Amino acid sequence: MKSELRIKVTSVYRHLVFLIFLVPNSLLGQVSITGSAVVTQNFNGIGNSATAVLPSGFRIGTDYNTATSATTLAYGSSGANAVAGNSSGGVVNWANGVTASSTDRALGFLNSGSFSSPRSIVVAIQNSGSAAITSIAIAFDYEKYRTGMRAFAWTFFHGSSSAPATANASGDQSYAADGANSVVNPPTSISKSFTLNGLNIAPGALYYFRWTLTGNGGSTNGQGLGLDNLSFTATFQESTTPTITVAATTAAFSTTYGTASAPQIFSISGSNLTANLVATAPAGFEVSADGILYASTATFSPTSGSVSGSLRIRLSATAPVIGNYNSNSIVMSSANAASVSITSPASGNFVSPKNVTIEGITGDNKVYDRTTDATFSGTPTYSGLVNGEFFAVIGNTFAEFDTQLVGNSKLILVDGFEAPSSNYVVSQPTLTAVITKRGVSIVGLIINNKPYDGNATASFDSSSAVLDGVIAPDVVSLDLSLATAAFETTNAGTGINVSVSGIELGGADAANYELSEQPNGLKATIGKANQIISFGPLNPKQDNDPDFALTATADSGLAVTYSSSNEAVSTISGDIVSILATGTTTITATQKGNENYNPATAVAQLLIVTSTAKQDQTITFNPLTAATYGDMPFMLQANSSSGLAVNYTSSNSAVATVTGSTLTILAPGTTVITVSQEGDTDFNPATTVQQTLIVNRKDIAVVGVLANSKAYDGTTFASISGGSLAGIVGTDDVSFSGNGTFTDASSGSGKEVVTAFVLGGSDSSKYNLLQTVGLTATITTKELTLAGISIADKQYDGGTAATIIGVLVLNGVVSTDISNVTIDSTAVVATFETANIGSIKEVNVVGYTLSGSASANYFLTQPNLTGNINQRVLSIAGITVEDKVYDGTTTAQFSGLPSLNGIVGSESVSVSGVIELEFQNANAENDKTLTIGGIALVGIDSGNYLIGDLSLTASIFPAILTYNADAATRVFNIANQTFTGTVTGFVNAEDISATSGTLNFVTSASNLSAPGTYPIIGTGLTANNYIFEQNTTNATALTITKADQTISFGTLPAKTTADLPFALTATSSSGLQVTYESTNPNVAVISGNTITIIGSGTTEITASQGGDATLTCGNFG
């Protein structure tokens, strides 16, 4: 049977909150009641599980802090799993109806078997209002689900302790034994309601209620009882205390330096205020009351003591990047009011650096140099600085084109500009510039002389032509396919100017070059042209033949003149020959030439004026001058005295051949030229004449070669590139190969290189090779690098000095120089790029130098190293840790004001937060070390530091456990019973399981000890964290009482006055002597145990025993 009750909070003060919630060791769940909101708790929401989780705020146990939070059984009043006489005991999720389906639930117990009483339900409430609670009206129902043959009683307690102990009988209820463990369906209900007055539950304080169910003896036949339909109505004290209220749940703040973050808006209010409500922001934050003006404080002015409004909080535009904005508190304060804080989240609050760019520089154009090296000009400035800041641009910059090739608007990549401060990051600029073509000129182009031919066309010899200005190993060649050359006149002469045009560049890299100009200053000679007279042999004449005309012509077209060597035979007039007599005469045709033609070689023809008889003849053939392979063909000059044509033959046609009278040289060597004349009808054959012709080999040279520079390698070898053979005849198969040697192996510029070329090819034997002279090249110094060293990690010290460690190794020395090159590190300096902490920080190393006899041949590259600057460890000073008694926690208390030791210079570093000291464990022990928490380093320079381990120690002394013997009583001469008792003093919800051993209570009294009080002493336990003492009441915990005794005294027979005295025979059970007394001495008197009859009548004889120290008195009458 259920009824719904409302939990109502009544108050004369607005905005107060009353909470019911569960607090196991810390505040966890809660039920919030605000204003007129209605909350009920009838356990209907816990479901039908046997292990149902209790509603927030409810626990099973005597002490809330150690209580449990779930049921162990579920029973209903009907249907399946209904409670029965043999049901097990436990914490029960009671159902009014069927266990699995009923939604009408209650919380309680069934005491049965090992689940004994007492058992308790405890509830915690917290006053979350701003005024004290002065009274609480409570209503609830006790419900019964099973009868039992044991009586039970609910008792109600309340108090501020987590194990409340203040009883209030208004909440008590007794249940008499009523049957044989039968289900009660429907369950019966008893309602309770009462008010707890005189309370003073401060705002934020906890208060507890406990219902304890206790059975009357034994553990079986328990009743099934539950608690249901709780209602609490709280009355709050009217408050005049100035109060500030804030409803605030913050999200993380983030922004970019120079821009304030988006504001977060919070509702704030105050009541009973006597001064302005002021919100104060921590460093890096700013606040505003109107959303317009932001500052480090914002003010709200109260009206009639009340104020409400919206507080806006944001990170300021000047908040530095390295600041700590986590767990920062914005404090609301007003005179006489408790300050209230809005705290930023513990993580996720940050200021990102502002991006700046570089302006004011332009890329410099350059002429192609086969590198990507680039420069720029101008004064660089930062663009994008904020907060009125100005910085000079810093950084070690370098620039390079994206490619080395010629082009317009080519991209220049710039790097090395550094951010002006930690509040910025810099974007490296991207520039453009032009790489123009490199000018080259042609050297070695030779204009060929020519004989006069009537036109200005010139030819040239490019075999020795090379391009001056090409950067090795670029491939650039001359393209002569459209090249032409022309003399400035067609007439013969010397030193005639020749112009050249149409030469282009070719080769894979030609696009990066241009001809500065076509070759100029070239001159050549147009020699006078030779001319040849065509004058055929003259037919023999008879001395009586008529005059005849001569028909010789010059190929120049100039007029030919004639002469007769023997005018006795014939005379000439103009071109008419007159025969005068027999004989021979030489008719010579001549042409003297002019400004363009050389005189023609005279051509003589023999004119024979015959008679009737033959004549002898002789041959004239002078010795031949030695020739050189490659010389032009020339005319042989032999003649016969008869004037008849002579014939020539060569003995070695591989060296020279003769066609007509023209000799052509074919190869070096020796040949014999033979001249003959066969004779004719008028002359006999002439005797042959021989002359030897020697043909020498042609001298040729290599032109256009370059000696290549090299890095020092300890050898004199020099490589040669380029070049061609000049002077090769025709298409002869001739090549050359070979390199050169430097005069010595040491480094230097303009060093002489001696060539060692050799000829190759099938026609190489026809030539003599002249070695090239005048070549020079450079042996550059060889780069050496350092290895085997690194930078030692260091703690931040405010400086940039770095320490080099390791074994220095010099790499790159030529093997022959190893003993002649050493490294000098006496002047080495290593510095970090900045003093701030960081990992893999660049370190600038300078000062390594080379020494030794061969060191001039090398240059040393300083090492590129990195290192780590770790946070500097600060120690906490100024505090003293207090020893404590074991309480099961690691919490430590201290005194004093903390200070930081180890800060570099006057850097801005301080501690923020509340120090929380903890022992490393909770156990009792002397001189224990502690750890620190709850604080953080703040300040502009705090990022370079961390707090180190404490060197503080303190002791945890064992707590005291008290043996509490239960009071015991026995009768004299009875054996001691088993004594019981408890051990109290456990801390932090610990119990006897924190000890070892077996708990015993013993006494020194034996069965024969005299009646009185004796000690019962606890013993048998040990514990690391506790020491044991006896409760002072233990000293008298055992009471031995006197033993009872009885008297056996039979009925006395009737007597007459005549009867003799007789003995009484009463005996005591103790064996002590019995005494007697007569109530009527007129009838009988007693002496000892003898009675004497005095007279008739009636008297009562009483037998008694007065007892002793161990026995009580006894009597029988």
β-pairing verdict for 329-333 and 340-343: antiparallel
Strand, helix or coil for residue 764: helix
**Closest among 991, 988, 1021, 997 to 921, alpha carbons compared:** 988
Cα distance from N-terminal residue to C-terminal residue, the chain: 63
| Number of alpha helices (DSSP H) and beta strands (DSSP E) in the chain | 0, 106
Tens of pLDDT, residues 671-699:
999 999 998 877 889 999 999 999 999 99
Look at residue 339 and tell me whether its pLDDT is greater than 50: yes
pLDDT by residue (tens digit) across 369-422? 999 999 999 999 999 999 999 999 999 999 999 999 999 999 999 999 999 999
Residue 495 has pLDDT above 90, yes or no: no
Per-position DSSP letters for 12-77, written without gaps between them:
SSTT-EEEEE--SSS---EEEEETT--B-B-SGGG-S-TTPBPPTTEEESSSGGG-B-B-SEEEEE
Instruction: Tell me if residue 426 falls in helix, strand or coil.
Output: strand
Whether 1075 contacts 1106, CB under 8 Å: yes
Nearest-10 Cα torsion for 7, 10, 13, 17: -10
Q: Confidence class of residue 181 from pLDDT cuts 50, 70 and 90?
A: confident
Q: For the chain, what is the mean pLDDT? A: 89
Which stretches does DSSP call E strand in 324-423? Answer: 329-333, 340-343, 350-352, 354-363, 366-367, 373-374, 376-383, 394-401, 407-418
What is the three-state SS of 31-45? EEEECCCCECECCHH
Under the banding of pLDDT at 50, 70 and 90, the label for residue 1112 is low
User: Who's near 22: CB < 8 A, 6+ residues apart?
Assistant: 28, 29, 30, 54, 55, 56, 57, 58, 59, 69, 124
How many residues appear in the chain?
A: 1117
Whether 17 shows a pLDDT value over 50: the answer reads no
* Spatial separation of the C-alpha atoms in residues 1021 and 1033, rounded to whole Å: 19
Least trusted range by pLDDT, from 27-41, 327-341, 559-573: 27-41
pLDDT, residue 2, reads: 31
Distance CA(140)–CA(114), nearest Å, equals: 29
Which CATH architecture is the domain 10-236 placed in?
Sandwich (2.60)
State yes or no: pLDDT of 113 exceeds 80.
Answer: no
**Mind listing the pLDDT tens digit for each residue in 980-1032?**
999 999 998 999 999 999 999 999 999 889 999 999 999 999 999 999 999 99
The conformation of residue 816, written as its DSSP 8-state character, comes to G
| Structural domain boundaries in the chain | 10-236, 267-352, 354-436, 438-527, 614-696, 698-780, 782-870, 872-957, 959-1041, 1047-1116
Please check the confidence at residue 16 and state whether its pLDDT lies above 70.
no
Residue 336: burial class (beta carbons within 10 Å; 0-12, 13-18, 19+): exposed
10-236 and 614-696 have identical folds = no
Q: What is the pLDDT of residues 720-762, one digit of tens each?
A: 999 899 889 999 999 999 999 999 989 999 999 999 999 999 9
**Residue found by looking up tokens 């490199």 in the block:** 438
Other beta carbons within 10 Å of 629:
22
Q: pLDDT category, 22, cuts 50, 70, 90?
A: very low
User: 33 falls in which pLDDT band (50, 70, 90)?
Assistant: very low
Q: What is the dihedral of CA 20, 26, 28, 32, to 10 degrees?
A: 30
The CATH topology of domain 614-696 is Immunoglobulin-like (2.60.40)
pLDDT in tens, 139-171: 999 999 999 888 889 999 999 999 999 999 999
- In contact, 862 and 900? CB cutoff 8 Å: no
* 1041 vs 1110: CA distance, rounded Å: 8
Q: Is the pLDDT of residue 24 over 70?
A: no
Neighbours of 721 (CB within 10 A): 12
**Joined tokens for residue 98:** 């069927």
pLDDT of res. 643: 87
Task: Give 886-934 pLDDT, tens digit per residue.
Answer: 998 988 888 887 888 889 999 888 888 878 888 889 899 998 888 888 8
Residue 37: is its pLDDT beyond 60? no
pLDDT of residue 754: 94
With cut-offs at 50, 70 and 90, classify the pLDDT of residue 102.
very high
Q: How far apart are CA 977 and CA 79, in angstroms?
A: 48
pLDDT for residue 613? 62
Count of CB atoms situated within 10 Å of the CB of 283: 16
What pLDDT, on the 0 to 100 scale, is given for residue 1113?
Answer: 59
The 10 Å Cβ neighbour count of residue 921 is 10
pLDDT in tens, 1023-1065: 999 999 999 999 999 999 988 888 998 888 888 888 889 889 8
State the average pLDDT over residues 585-597: 92
Confidence at residue 239, expressed as pLDDT on a 0 to 100 scale: 64
Q: Quick one: average pLDDT of 859-874?
A: 93
pLDDT of residue 1: 30
Q: Say what the pLDDT of residue 219 is.
A: 56
Neighbours of 579 (CB within 10 A): 20
Q: Which residues contact 749 (CB under 8 A, 6 or more apart)?
A: 778
**The residue to which tokens 């108090």 are assigned:** 159
Asked if the model's pLDDT at residue 880 lies above 90, the reply is: no
